[in-house]
Chains A and B, each alone.
Chain A
Amino acid sequence: MSGEAPEVWHRLHPLSPVVRGGRGTAGIAILLVLIVFHRGKLSDASVQLAIAGLLIVGGFVSWLVTRWRIEDDDLRIETGLLRRRSLRFPLSQLQAIDVVRPGLARMFRVAELRLRLAGTSGATARLAYVAEHEVEPLRDRLLALARGARLDDGAQELAPVGEPATQEEHIVATVSSGRLVASICLEYWWLIAILLGILAGVAVSPHTVGPLLVGGGLVWTISLVTFLWRRFNQQYRLTVAEGPDGLHLHGGLVALTAEIIRPGRVQAVRLVEPFLWRPLGWCRLEVDLAGRQKSKGEGEAQRGQLRTLLPVGTRDLGIELVDWLLPDRPRELSPPPRRARWKSPVRYRALSWGRTETCVATTSGRLRRVACWVPLEKAQSLRFTQGPIQRRLGLASVHVDTAGRGVHATLRDRDVEEADGALEDLTDLARTARRRQAAA
C-alpha cells in the first residue's frame, strides 16, 4: 500500500458553506431581498450589508482552507484559517459510512459523508459536502480501502484492494407512509389527543385558551409537534436492504440519511410492540450501535436513542430481521415461576427469557411489550439483584448490561436458584464469546 504517490488534495463542493449555513443562509437571503426591495438609501442598510458580507466571506474562506485527501490508509482533512487543524482518520478503524442529505443539500445536489470510526473516542470524520455524483464512488473506495487496511492488520486473506464494494442489495422492507402515520398516531395517541384538544379549545373559545397558550403552553405545543414531526421525518420511507457488508438503511423526508449497519456492531436488538399496535400485529425493531454519534439537528436526548431499523412492520418481518442480525438467537423462552405474579402482576404474562451459546433473549412489558436480544460477546457486566419482595418470594433478577443506555436484557423475577445458575452460566458464556471474538 505504501510507496504510492500521495494523492492530490481535494476540496469540498463550493456550495458547502451555503448548505452548512442552513437556516443562516436562508436568513441572509431574506435579508438581502429585504435590502434590495427596501426603497431608501443603500447606506441605511450598511450594517446589515456588512454583516451579510462578512458571513459570506467567512463561509467562502472556510471552504477555501478546507481540503482532504487519502494518504495510504488514512483519510486526512485539513481545515482552519487561523488555527490550522490537520485531522487524520485511520480507515482501518472505519465502522460505517453514512450519507446524509439535509433539505438544502438536496436542493443543491450535494451530500455529506460521515465516517464513523471505532475506538473509545468514537470519532466521526465529516466530509460536508461532496457533489452527489461523487458520493457513491467515494464511499465504495473508502470502504474498499478500509477493508484492505483491516486485512493488512489482521493478514488472513489476500486483500482485494481497490475492488469496489458490490452494491447488490436485496430490499427487505419499505415502510409505506400511510402505515407510518397510522403507527405514530396509535403509539402517541395521547399526544395527538392533547394536540387536538388544544386545537379544539382554540377554535371554541380562543379567549380562554389563547392566554394559556401564550403563558408557556405554546412552547409545549411546539415541542410536541416537533417531536412527532421528527419521528415522521426520520422514518419516512425508511428502506431496509440486505447488502454484502450489512443492512443498508435509507430514508427520510426532508433530511435523507443512508446508513450501513454491520451485524458485528450491534450491541443489542429490541423489538417493541406499543399497546395499540398489538391488535394489528405490528412491531418496531431498534438496534443499539456502538459509537453512534449525535448528528446535526439531533438533541442530546436523541443521542442515547436507538437506531430504528424497522419503524413499523409485521412481527414476522421483525423476527426475520432479528434472525439476520443474530442468527443464533434463542428460540425457546421459559416463563418465570407462577409466584412471580405477586411481584409483577401486570408484567407476569410477558416475562420470559432464553439463551443459546452466544445470545440471550428476554421479554417484558406491561402494556407495551418489549423483547430484547443481546449477543453475549457484547455484554459489559452482569448483575444479580434481589429486592425485599423478591426475597420473600424466593425470586431474583439478573441484568445483562450493554454499552449505552438504551437496552437492558433483564431476566426478571426468576427463581433464586435459576437466577444464580444463569449468572454463572452467562458469565462463562460471555467470557467464551468474548475470547472467540478476540481470536477472530
Chain B
Amino acid sequence: MGAALVAAVVLAILGFPEFTPIPVAIGAVAWVVVGRRYRSWGYGEREDDLLVRRGVMFARLSVVPYGRMQFIDVTAGPFERAFGLATVRLHTAAAATDARIPGLEREEAARLRDRLAELGEAQAAGL
C-alpha cells in the first residue's frame, strides 16, 4: 500500500500527467485501507491480562494473561526505524498465540516491554 502511494507521488512529480489519475486512485484506496487497518490496531492493559486487537478483514482479539508470557520481543524493521517506531510481540508456550502490537513509538514500546516483563514476573505461572 505504501508502495502505491509512493508510486503515485513519484509519477506525478516525474510528469506523466496522463497516467496520474490511476496511481492517485490506487493511492486513495490504499489510504483508506491503511487507515482502517491502522485504526484496527489496539491494545489494552488490564489487571491480569493484555488485550491485543488487530485486523480489518480478519479481526482478532487476543487475551494474553501476564502470567503466561514467556518472553517479549521488540523489533524494528528499516521502515519502522526511519519513523521511530517498533513492534512488540508477546510469546507464550503456545505456538498459536498471535499477539503483536505494531507501530508503537519507540519509547512507548520500551515502556510496554518493561511493564509487561515486570507483570509477567510477578504473576508467572507454571505450565
How many CB-defined contacts (below 8 Å) exist between A and B? 81
Cα(A387)–Cα(B34), bound, Å: 18
Q: Which residue of B lies closest to A401 (CB)?
A: B94
In the bound complex, do residue B57 and residue A388 qualify as a contact, i.e. CB atoms below 8 Å apart? yes
CA distance A427 to B60 in the complex (A): 15
From residue 140 to 197 of chain A, which have CB atoms closer than 8 A to chain B? none
Q: Interface segment, A32-40, A72-80, A430-438?
A: A430-438
Query: Given the complex, which residues of A lie within 8 Å of B60, measured CB to CB?
Result: 383-386
- CB proximity to A under 8 Å, residues B45-63: 48-49, 57-63
- Asked if residues B127 and A383 are in contact (CB atoms below 8 Å), the reply is no
Q: Is residue B87 contacting chain A, with contact meaning CB distance below 8 A?
A: no
CB neighbours (8 Å) of B68 from chain A are 380-381
Write the nearest CB–CB distance from B66 to chain A, whole angstroms. 10
B70 touches A423 (CB 8 A): no
A431 in contact with B48 given A381-B64, A381-B68 (CB within 8 Å):
yes
Provide the residues of chain A in CB contact with B127, threshold 8 Å: 118, 267, 290-291, 378, 403
A404 at interface by CB-CB < 8 Å:
yes
Residues of B78-112 at the interface with A, using a CB-CB cut-off of 8 Å, are 92-99
Interfacial chain A residues near B92, Cβ < 8 Å: 380-381, 401, 403
Instruction: Determine if A408 is an interface residue (Cβ-Cβ < 8 Å).
Output: yes
The answer to whether A386 and B63 touch across the interface, beta carbons within 8 angstroms, is no
Whether B94 lies near A434 (C-beta < 8 A) is: no
**Residue of chain A at shortest CB distance from B57:** A388
For B, the interface residue count at a CB cutoff of 8 angstroms equals 25
Chain A CB within 8 A of B44 CB: no
Q: Are B126 and A118 in contact (CB under 8 A)?
A: yes
Size category, A interface: 20 to 34
C-alpha gap A315/B68 in the complex (Å) = 34
Contacts of B94 in A (CB 8 A): 380-381, 401-404
B59 touches A381 (CB 8 A): no
**Is A382 in contact with chain B by the CB < 8 A criterion?**
yes
What are the residues of chain B within 8 A of A430 when measuring CB–CB? Answer: 65
Q: Residue A399 at the B interface, CB < 8 A? A: yes
Provide the main secondary structure of the chain A interface: mixed
Closest chain A CB from B68 CB (angstroms): 5
Residue from B49, B58, B70 within 8 A of A385 (CB atoms): B58
B97 touches A401 (CB 8 A): yes
Knowing A120-B70, A427-B49, the reply to whether A383 touches B61 (Cβ < 8 A) is yes
On chain A, the residues within 8 Å of B65 by CB distance are: 381, 427, 430-431, 434
Note all chain A residues with C-beta closer than 8 A to B64: 380-381
Q: A405 CA to B62 CA in the complex, in Å? A: 17
Contact code string A411-440 (vs B, CB < 8 Å = 1, else 0): 000000000000100010011001001100
- Which residues of chain B are near A267, meaning CB under 8 Å? 127
B126 vs chain A, min Cβ distance (A): 7
Q: Flag if A385 contacts B59 (CB, 8 Å).
A: yes
The answer to whether residues A438 and B97 also contact, given A382-B63, A385-B58 and a CB cut-off of 8 A, is no
Are B125 and A383 in contact (CB-based, < 8 A)?
A: no
User: Contacts A118-B126, A120-B70 known; A423 to B96 CB distance under 8 Å?
Assistant: no
**A381 to B89, alpha carbons, bound, how many Å?**
14
User: Is B125 touching A382 in the complex (CB atoms < 8 A)?
Assistant: no
Chain A residues with CB under 8 Å of B62's CB are 381-384
Query: Do B125 and A423 have beta carbons less than 8 Å apart?
Result: no
| A383 close to B57 (CB less than 8 A) | no
A326 to chain B, nearest CB (A): 16
CB-nearest residue of chain B relative to A291?
B127
Inter-subunit contact A423/B61 (CB<8 Å): yes
**Which residue of the partner chain A has the closest CB to B70?**
A120
Interface centre among A120, A383, A385 (most CB of B within 10 A): A383
Q: Is B67 in contact with chain A by the CB < 8 A criterion? A: yes
| A290–B125 CA distance with the chains assembled, in angstroms | 14
B126: chain A residues at CB < 8 Å are: 118, 437-438
Which residues of B have CB within 8 Å of A404? 93-95
CB distance from A263 to the nearest CB of B (A): 14
Q: Contact between A434 and B93 (Cβ–Cβ < 8 Å)?
A: no
Contact A434 B57 (CB under 8 A): no
Which of A290, A405, A423 contacts B95, CB < 8 Å?
A: A405
- Residues of chain A lying within 8 A (CB to CB) of residue B63: 381-384, 423, 427
A381 to B48: give the CA distance in the assembly, Å: 12
Q: Do B58 and A401 touch (CB < 8 A)?
A: no
Q: Roughly how many angstroms separate A403 CA and B97 CA in the complex, as a whole number? A: 9
Interface residues of A in 361-400 (CB under 8 A from B): 378, 380-388, 391, 399
Chain B residues near A (Cβ < 8 Å): 48-49, 57-65, 67-68, 70, 92-99, 125-127
A-B contact pairs, 9 of them (CB 8 A): A381-B99, A382-B63, A384-B60, A387-B57, A388-B58, A399-B96, A423-B61, A434-B67, A437-B126
Q: A382-B62, A434-B67 are in contact. List 17 more A-B contacts (CB 8 A).
A: A120-B70, A380-B64, A381-B62, A381-B65, A381-B94, A381-B99, A383-B61, A383-B62, A383-B97, A403-B94, A403-B127, A404-B93, A423-B63, A431-B65, A434-B65, A434-B125, A437-B125
- The 3 A-B pairs with the shortest beta carbon distances in the complex, nearest first, are A403-B93, A401-B94, A380-B94
